[in-house]
Structure 1
Amino acid sequence: MDRFAELQLFVQVAETGSLSRAADALDLSNAAASRHLHALEERLGARLVERNTRRLYLTDTGLEFLGRARNLLAELQDAEDAVNARTLKPTGTLRISASLSFSMHHIAPLLRAYTERYPQVSVHVETANRYLDIIDNNIDVAIRTREFEPDSNITVRRLAGTRRLLTASPRYLAKHGRPQTPEDLARNHQLLIYTYANNPYELRFTRDGVETTVQVKGLVESNDGQVLRAAALDGLGILILPTYIVYEDMVAGRLVPMLDEWDLPRLTVNLAYPSRKHLSAKVRTFIDFMAEHFVMLNYERKWTGHFGEN
């Protein structure tokens, strides 16, 4: 048990960069945490952690040992998860990573139903518009809009496809009119640009096998879709975001789609999670819960069809 506690403590120190935060995470006193770390270094005969007045950091030996320690703890977790999976009693903290927009529209509204169904699971939602490293950040499940992961240790499960649409508020359209062609966007309109999109200043449209590319600039630019959505609702410009963000606004008439006969490159909404022989019950139940929800609400059809067909 002491060796297990030492490994847990060391990994927490590495991930939090603080002995006190690691102690808090493991419900230890600072003194007990310091003893565990000292005992581990004494047993290994090596210095793993260096401290100065400003920060704590791992030595080269500590960095090498960190990977091995994580693997050992992961193997133990896999063994426990295999038992949990068989007993169907998900427990523990489920760590989810997703963009702020997806979290607000498609995770937060489901938390009540999921936690009521699985009351022994607590949920931590980490919002980030850049993709966090799943392994390094101890993420259980991440929502991604790319087809594959560069890390072969990550499994990807498709949830739904989604178009990217141009929408604007009735207020904006009353003042500026509707674009009639993709080229009108660059000449006569104000655009709201999501800077984390692939090639955000280049819009590649296709229609009936014909492709046209328009170079654009934004009146307002942001790395967060909710900032741009708020600006669009206020009549500031034309929004370019995935359907899963703006669908309810279109249904309510707050935003109006335009150039709908043209397609921008589509995205795929996926679940990404560490590839392990035994998925923990909390991860497996959340994956199944999300897939069930997407099918029930028919998101694939809603998000990939033309708006008049939904």
Structure 2
Amino acid sequence: MDRLTSMELFVAVAELGTLNKAAEKLDISNAAATRHITSLENRLNVRLIERTTRRLSLTTIGIEYYKKCKDLLSEIDQAESSISSAAVEPEGTVTITSSISFAIMHITPLIPKFNKLYPKIKINLIGANRYQDIIDSNIDIAIRTREFEPDSNLTIRKLATTHRILAASYDYIKRKGKPKTIEELQDHDILLYSHANNPRILSLSKDNEIKNFALNPIMETNDGQIVRSAALNGAGILIQPLYIIYQDIVEGRLIPILTDWKLPELNVNIAFQSRQFMPIKNRLFIDFLIEDFKNKEYERYWSSIQ
């Protein structure tokens, strides 16, 4: 028998004084109510109710058990009420991880507006350029930029498609020249982001032709913002996704190089554990981020840079 239903029925019997009224309150049959009380007494191995032809009354131990059941059911009601309230006015902390560059450029600018809409939802933002295990690290949402997403138990929602390009500052090009062929890259200063997929091999395509070029960088770093800063200061040629350097290109701080050759596309994905029973706070942030990317048409603008 369902233990919680048996406890609820017992409390109703204690307060209403009859089994019939208690059964009616819980919308169960009298026979089912009798079985619940019998099962409860058998499990506890005590008599909880004294039965007479006119009325039921609690035994001494039944009174004690009634008090404990009443307190427990009250706590359950409060817990469910709290969850229902959270659904109406969502609250809690959303733990998000992404690369430091993505966090700076595409998450932190959204926080004030999101906080205004949902003031009881807090953001815990973890900048990490290596992908963390979502389950082991208690992460709600992970932003991942990859050529492909390996099979896993995670749910994936695509945010956008982008691609990497080669670019350098005007000062660097003025000093070292602008390479016109892939082979000319060997005479240039390359700034390497070490967490890229197969970072030391540049795989470029044009029409049906594919060329692989081995990189010999003058600087290597594990953070995209460091690579960007070095390139902006004229240190060399970077290879970075457009979600990081698009604005630098549009505003002329960086100049695209070898644009007739293409690097593999990258998918910007949102990864999370499961759609089933997803906390509303997580779903709200995911929907908010997707809507922002849609409204700002990032994918269309990024594809315009060739």
Asked if TM exceeds 0.5, the reply is yes
CA gap of 1:84–1:271, structure 2 versus 1, over 3 A, is farther
Q: CA deviation at 1:199?
A: 1.1
* Equivalenced residues, count: 226
Secondary structure of 1:286's aligned partner: helix
1:127 corresponding residue in structure 2? 127
Q: CA deviation at 1:277?
A: 1.3
1:223 corresponding residue in structure 2? 222
Q: How does 1:139-150 map to 2 (within 5 A)?
A: 139-146=139-146, 147-150=148-151
CA gap of 1:185–1:248, structure 2 versus 1, over 3 A, is same
Q: How does 1:49-198 map to 2 (within 5 A)?
A: 83=84, 87-146=87-146, 147-152=148-153, 154-186=154-186, 188-198=187-197
CA gap of 1:285–1:236, structure 2 versus 1, over 3 A, is same
Structure 2 distance, partners of 1:205, 1:235, is 24
CA gap of 1:177–1:80, structure 2 versus 1, over 3 A, is farther
Per-residue CA deviation, residues 272-300 of structure 1 (Å, 9 max, x unaligned), is 01114121111111111011000111111
Q: CA deviation at 1:157?
A: 0.2
CA gap of 1:140–1:149, structure 2 versus 1, over 3 A, is farther
Secondary structure of 2:204's aligned partner: strand
Structure 2 distance, partners of 1:143, 1:137, is 14
Q: CA deviation at 1:131?
A: 0.3
Aligned-residue sequence identity (percent) comes to: 44
TM-score (norm 2): 0.71
Q: How does 1:24-43 map to 2 (within 5 A)?
A: none
Per-residue CA deviation, residues 50-100 of structure 1 (Å, 9 max, x unaligned), is xxxxxxxxxxxxxxxxxxxxxxxxxxxxx9998578x34321011000011
Secondary structure of 2:299's aligned partner: helix
The structure 1 segments of at least 4 consecutive aligned residues displaced by more than 4 Å after TM superposition are: 79-85
Contact 1:89 1:281 survives alignment (8 Å): no
Secondary structure of 1:164's aligned partner: strand
CA gap of 1:261–1:81, structure 2 versus 1, over 3 A, is farther
Secondary structure of 2:234's aligned partner: coil
Contact 1:96 1:142 survives alignment (8 Å): yes
Structure 2 distance, partners of 1:217, 1:231, is 16
Q: CA deviation at 1:151?
A: 2.9
CA gap of 1:88–1:206, structure 2 versus 1, over 3 A, is farther
Q: CA deviation at 1:148?
A: 2.4
Q: CA deviation at 1:193?
A: 0.4
Q: CA deviation at 1:183?
A: 1.3
Runs (5+) with no aligned partner, structure 2: 1-79
Runs (5+) with no aligned partner, structure 1: 1-78
Secondary structure of 1:279's aligned partner: coil
1:289 corresponding residue in structure 2? 288
TM-score (norm 1): 0.70
Contact 1:157 1:270 survives alignment (8 Å): yes
Structure 2 distance, partners of 1:181, 1:226, is 27
Q: Which is greater in Rg?
A: 2
Structure 2 distance, partners of 1:128, 1:145, is 12
2:76 corresponding residue in structure 1? none
